[in-house]
Amino acid sequence: MNDRRDRLGHLLREHALVRESVRLSSGRRSSYYFDARQVLLDPEGAALAGALMWDLLRPAAPRAVGGLTLGADPLVCAVSAAAWSEDVRVTGFFVRKEAKKHGLQQWIEGPFIEEGTPVAVVDDVLTSGGSLVAAVEKARQAGGVVVAAAIVIDRGEGGREAAQQALGDAPLHALYTAEELLQAGRAPA
């Protein structure tokens, strides 16, 4: 696992880390940004992230994995594929940012929901926790039982606390902290 984790960390630092002033989805300003989709939409990054997240989520035995579109989309597919590589069927679902205006007017797209289905919620970057909390709430409203959550990068800006409150007893896993990715590769002072 360490080789895969090291490789994914390297890819995130090299291809997803942008060191410039940006406004985050939380509205705050930051001197750096992780555009994780630059790595998660690449086949190597997707395979690594999917396998690593599945390793973390497997003990909770989810039967579906999902998250708020667009940040979670590549992860949903990657985790589902990683589970399937072990002959475990974990379907994917996407939580819309607003209900569909026509048809069934659903918040959730995908084959998952039967009342009581154990689900895991995923996201790429955790800042304030808003996206993860919204996904947890919508999965529960649709009948899912949220058994775990996983994120690629925890920015360490209060999102973990908000997400953990929404998750209750379900565990929240992070592959990396922003601090560890920002510090890796720097020469000691």
The answer to whether 130 touches 162, Cβ cutoff 8 Å, is yes
Residue at token pair 């490789």: 7
Tell me the domains of the chain and their CATH numbers: 2-183 (3.40.50.2020)
pTM for the model stands at: 0.92
124: CB partners within 8 A, 6+ apart: 34, 36, 37, 40, 71, 72, 74, 75, 151, 152, 153
Q: For 175, how many CA atoms within 13 A lie in the half-sphere containing its CB?
A: 31
pLDDT per residue as tens digits for the range 154-185: 999 999 999 999 999 999 999 999 999 999 75
> What would the pLDDT profile of 92-139 be if each residue is shown by its tens digit?
999 998 766 666 567 888 886 688 999 999 999 999 999 999 999 999
